[in-house]
């Protein structure tokens, strides 16, 4: 996916709960490398982020139907780029 386009999707749809890669609802479940390794279903990879964003999980809403598949793929690329590079 397109990391730059994904950053825009993130700002508009995710930052309310995940500003700076944090998590205001479940503080340990950040978007940082270690947390994705520990908590993300399927492990720290784009397909896993796409799955969680599409379907939601517990208090995180589902974005399937609200965002296009392309937007979801792009935001997953952005999240992984940030996490893998320790950019947040």
Residues near ligand HEM (CB under 6 A): 13-14, 16-18, 23, 25-26, 29-31, 35-36, 39-40, 49, 52-53, 57-61, 63, 75, 79
From the list 83, 58, 82, 74, the residue with the least C-alpha distance to 13 is 74
Residue nearer to ligand HEM on the CB measure, 1 or 79: 79
Residue nearer to ligand HEM on the CB measure, 8 or 57: 57
Please list, residue by residue across 8-42, b when 16 or more beta carbons sit within 10 angstroms of its beta carbon and e when fewer do: ebbeebbeeebeebebeeeeebbbbbebbeeebee
Least distance to ligand HEM, CB of residue 87, Å: 14
């Amino acid at each position: 996916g397109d990391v730059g386009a994904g950053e825009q999707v993130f700002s508009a749809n995710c930052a309310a709960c995940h500003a700076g890669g944090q998590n205001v609802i479940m503080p340990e479940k950040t978007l940082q490398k270690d947390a994705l390794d520990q908590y993300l279903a399927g492990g720290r990879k784009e397909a896993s982020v796409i799955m969680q964003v599409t379907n939601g999980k517990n208090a995180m809403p589902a974005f399937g139907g609200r965002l296009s598949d392309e937007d979801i793929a792009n935001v997953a690329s952005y999240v992984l780029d940030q996490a893998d590079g320790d950019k947040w």
